[in-house]
A and B are shown apart, each in its own frame.
Chain A
Amino acid sequence: MLGKLIKNSFKAHASAVYNIYIAMGIAGLVMLILMLFNWTKNGESSLGWGMAIKGIAAGALCIMAFIGVILTFVAVFGDFSRSMYGQEGHLTMTLPVRASSLLLAKWISGTFWVILSYTTLCLCYFGSSIYMMQHSLSLVRDNEAAYSIYELSKEMLTEVFETMGIHMPSITVILNVISLYAICGGVYACVFVLLVYFGITLSHCRPFNKLGKIGALLYFIAGFAAIEIFAVIVSKLINIHLLIADDRFTFTIAQSDVERAWGMGFGAVPITNVYCVAILTVVLFLGVAYLIDRKVNVD
C-alpha cells in the first residue's frame, strides 16, 4: 500500500509543478543553443544583442528556478492540505491505510520535490554564473588591458591564501564535504517539509483550528523554533564535529582537532545539530501521525 500511496503522491505533485519544469527546460535549451552559436561581428565577439540575449536567457532561467521553488512549495503543501483535510480528504482519509503510511508517502514525495526544486535552483544559479563568467572571460581575453588586470588579481589571491596557510584540499575531500553538506541539507529539507505538515495538521485539530491558515504558519514557526533551540542547546553541550580526510571520516569533540583539520586542508562539519534535528524529526513524524489518526477532522 505504501508504494501505491507514494506513487499517487508523486503523480499529484508532478501534475502541479510539471509546467514550470518544462519552462525551465526550454530556457536551458535556449541557453545551450546560444552557447553553441558564436555571436560575432566581423570576426570579433560582440557586446551587442548576443550578450543581451545570453544574459536574458540566464536571468530567465534563474528566475524560473526560483518560481519553481515557490510553486513546488505551494503544490506540495497545498496538495497535503487539500488531499488530507479538504474535499479530497473524503477519499484519502477513508482509504484502508494507516495514518503513518499516508503521512510517510506525502512526506517522501513532498521532500523529493522540495529537494529537486532547490537543487534545480542551485544548479541554475551555478550554471548561469559559470556561463556568464565564461562569456565575460572571453570578452576580457579580447581586451588586453582587462586581461592583464584579471591575471594580476588571480596571482594576488593565490599569494594571500598561501600567506594565510590555507591549502587547497584535494578533490576527494571537496566531494566528501559537498556530499556531507548535501546530506545535512536533505535532513533539513525533511524536517522543513514535516514541520509544514505539522503546522497544517495542527491547524485542523481542535482547539488549534481557530486561527485557520495563519495558525498553520504560526505552528510551523513555533515547531521550527522549538527544534532549533533544542538542537542549539544540545550542540553547545556536546559539540561533535565530523572530520573529513581523503579516505576516512572521524568524529571528534576536540576543538584543536577541528582547527588542525582545517589547517591541513581537511573539512570539519558540525554534526550534533544535524543529529538532534534528525532525531526530533522522527519524534515529530510520530506526533503528526498520531494527530492524523486520532485528532484531525476532515472539512
Chain B
Amino acid sequence: MEDENKLHTAGNPQTEDDNPFAAAFAGFEEQKSDDTDPFLNGDPAAFANTEGRRAQIGEPRRHSDSGETHSRPAAPEPSAQQTAGDDYSFQIGGENYSVQNEARNFSFDGAAPAYAAPAAENAYDPATQTDGYGYPAEGGYGYPAEGGYDYPVDDGYGYPIETDDYDYDADPEEDDTPRRQFAFKVRNLTKDYDGHTVLNNISFDIPAGKIVGLLGPNGCGKTTLIKILTGLIKDYTGVVKVGGRSIGIVSKAHLAYLPDNTYFPGRFRTIDCIKYYADYFEDFDRIKAAQFASDFGLDLNQRVKTMSKGMQEKLQLLVVMSRKADIYVLDEPLGGVDPAARGVILDIIMNNYKENATILLSTHLVNDLEHSFDHVLMLGKGAVLVNTGIDTLRATGKSVEEIFKEVIGDAWEVD
C-alpha cells in the first residue's frame, strides 16, 4: 500500500511545484519517448476503457490490492506517420530547444539548465522497476512511475491509476463518477479541413483543478481543439477524454462552454436564456443568473436580437458562469471587449467558477491573463509547443507573454 500511496502522490500534478527539475519536464510531455505508449502507437487495445473491453482484448483484469503480476501486451513499432515530421527550434530562458516530429521529440541544444537536465542517476531500468502493480515502472509514457520525475501517472490506458475504484463495466453514458485527475486527456489527435491539417497528431494532458491558458496564433487550431473537446466536431482521429470520459452526455453535463460567437436564438429574451439553461443543466443556479443579469444591467425581457454584441457576450457569460460545472471551456471570452470591461469580465470568471473546477481559457490577450493562469498550453503549427505549469515558465525569468512571442514567433514562420 505504501507503494500505491507513492504512486498516487507521484501522479498528482499539483506536486509538480515541489520538484522544479521534474516540473520543467512535466510541461513538455511531447518530448518523451512514445515508443512504449500503446496510445501513441495506435494500439486499439490501449483505447479500451472498461474491464470488460480489456477482457475482450486478452488482457487480464487488474487487481490493485492482490499484488498479482500481469504481463502487458507488447507495443507495436511506431508507424511512419508518427516518426515523420517537421523540425524547428525556439528559446525559453536563454536555452535553445528544437522540436522534432511536431514537438513529439523534444531535445535540448546547448548546456542543460539546472532545473531541466535529466541527470544520469535519474535513468531507470523498466526491467527492474515496477509500478507497484507488477507492471514495468513507467507511467504509460515511458517515464518511471516513481523515478523522480513526479509526472502524472496513468495506467497506460489513458486513465489515472486511482480510477481503479470506479466501475469499469459501467455504461460510460451513465457513469457519473467524478474523475478529477485530468480534465482533458488527448492522444494522437489529428484534425484537418479539406486536406489542411490544423491539429497534427497532438497528445497532451491537462490536470484538473487548474486555470489553463490555451494560447496560440490565429488559425493554430485553438477553436478547433475547443470544438473537439466540447463535442461540436466529431470527424477527427485520435482519442479525447474529458474528465476521464469519452465525449458524451455525461461529459457535456459537467462542462460549461462559452463559444466565441452568439449562440442564443435572436427571439430569446434574457429570461428565456436563463430558463433554457435551467431546463437542461442541473448545476445551473437561476438566482445567481438573475443576480448577474441585474449586475450587468440586462433587462430580463429584452430580446437577444435587440442587444448589442457586448450585451450578448455578457448574457452568454452570465449563463455559463451561473453553472457549477467541473470544467469551464471559454473561447476568447475577452475577444471584442473593451479594455475597461476586460477586468470586470475576468473578475466574474475568476470569482464565480466552481471550486476545484478546471478552466480552459482561450485567448490572444496573454498580458491581461497571464497572472490568472496556473497552466499554459500553447499551440502552433498544428502541434503542442508548450504544455506546462505557470511556475515552470516563470522559473525562466520571463513573462508568459515573452515566452509566447518567442515560441509563437517560431510557429508563425512559413515553411
The interface of chain A, by Cβ under 8 A from chain B, is 1, 4, 8, 12, 15, 83, 87-91, 93-98, 205-206, 210, 293-298
Contacts and interface: CB of A to CB of B under 8 A. Distances in A.
Contacts of A83: 265
24 contacts: A1-B280, A4-B280, A8-B276, A15-B267, A87-B262, A89-B232, A90-B232, A90-B259, A90-B261, A90-B263, A91-B263, A93-B231, A94-B231, A95-B252, A95-B280, A96-B250, A96-B253, A97-B249, A206-B235, A295-B235, A297-B232, A297-B235, A298-B227, A298-B233
B280 A88 contact: no
Contacts of A94: 230-232, 252, 255, 257
Interface residues of B, number: 25
A1 B267 CA distance: 22
Contacts of A12: 265, 267
Contacts of A295: 234-235
Contacts of B121: none
B347 interface: no
Contacts of B255: 94
B264 interface: yes
Given A83-B265, A88-B265, A91-B263, A96 B234 contact: no
Nearest to A91: B263
B279 A296 contact: no
A56 B188 CA distance: 68
B232 A93 contact: yes
Contacts of B280: 1, 4, 95-97
B156 to A, nearest CB: 26
B231 A297 contact: no
A95 B250 CA distance: 10
A96 B227 CA distance: 15
Contacts of A210: 194
A91 B230 CA distance: 11
B234 A91 contact: no
A97 B279 CA distance: 11
A246 to B, nearest CB: 48
Contacts, number: 60
Given A15-B267, A96-B253, A298-B232, 10 more contacts: A8-B276, A8-B279, A88-B265, A90-B261, A91-B263, A93-B232, A94-B255, A96-B249, A206-B235, A298-B227
Nearest to A205: B235
A298 B253 CA distance: 19
A108 B208 CA distance: 40
B261 A98 contact: no
Contacts of A298: 227, 232-233
A205 B259 CA distance: 21
B281 interface: yes
Interface in B198-214: none
Looking at chain B's contact residues, the main secondary structure is loop
B238 to A, nearest CB: 14
B234 A4 contact: no
A15 B304 CA distance: 14
A12 B234 CA distance: 26
A88 B257 contact: no
A4 B232 contact: no
A96 B276 contact: no
Contact of B249 (A15, A88, A98, A205): A98
Top 4 A-B residue pairs of the complex, sorted by shortest distance between their CB atoms: A96-B253, A90-B263, A298-B232, A91-B263
Given A4-B279, A297-B234, A90 B249 contact: no
Contacts of B252: 94-96
A96 B255 CA distance: 9
Interface string B302-331: 000000000000000000000000000000
Contacts of B249: 96-98
Nearest to B281: A96
A88 B262 CA distance: 8
A12 B265 CA distance: 9
A293 B234 CA distance: 8
A1 B278 CA distance: 12
A295 B262 CA distance: 24
Contacts of A297: 227, 232-235
Contacts of B259: 90
Contacts of B250: 96
B232 A91 contact: no
B257 A90 contact: yes
B232 A294 contact: no
Interface string B252-276: 1101010101111101000000001
A8 B276 CA distance: 9
Nearest to B276: A8
B28 to A, nearest CB: 31
A91 B304 CA distance: 14
A221 B261 CA distance: 33
Interface in B273-307: 276, 279-281
Contacts of B276: 8, 91
A89 to B, nearest CB: 7
Interface in B221-240: 227, 230-235
Contacts of A98: 249
A91 B101 CA distance: 36
Contacts of A4: 279-280
Contacts of A89: 232, 263
A134 B252 CA distance: 61
A101 to B, nearest CB: 9
Nearest to A89: B232
B234 A88 contact: no
Contact of A88 (B194, B233, B235, B264): B264
Nearest to A16: B267
Nearest to A297: B233
A231 to B, nearest CB: 32
A294 B234 CA distance: 6
Interface string B182-205: 000000000000100000000000
A87 B263 contact: yes
A75 to B, nearest CB: 12
B209 to A, nearest CB: 22
Contacts of B253: 96
A1 B257 CA distance: 19
Interface string B237-249: 0000000000001
A94 B262 CA distance: 14
A244 B246 CA distance: 53
Contacts of A88: 263-265
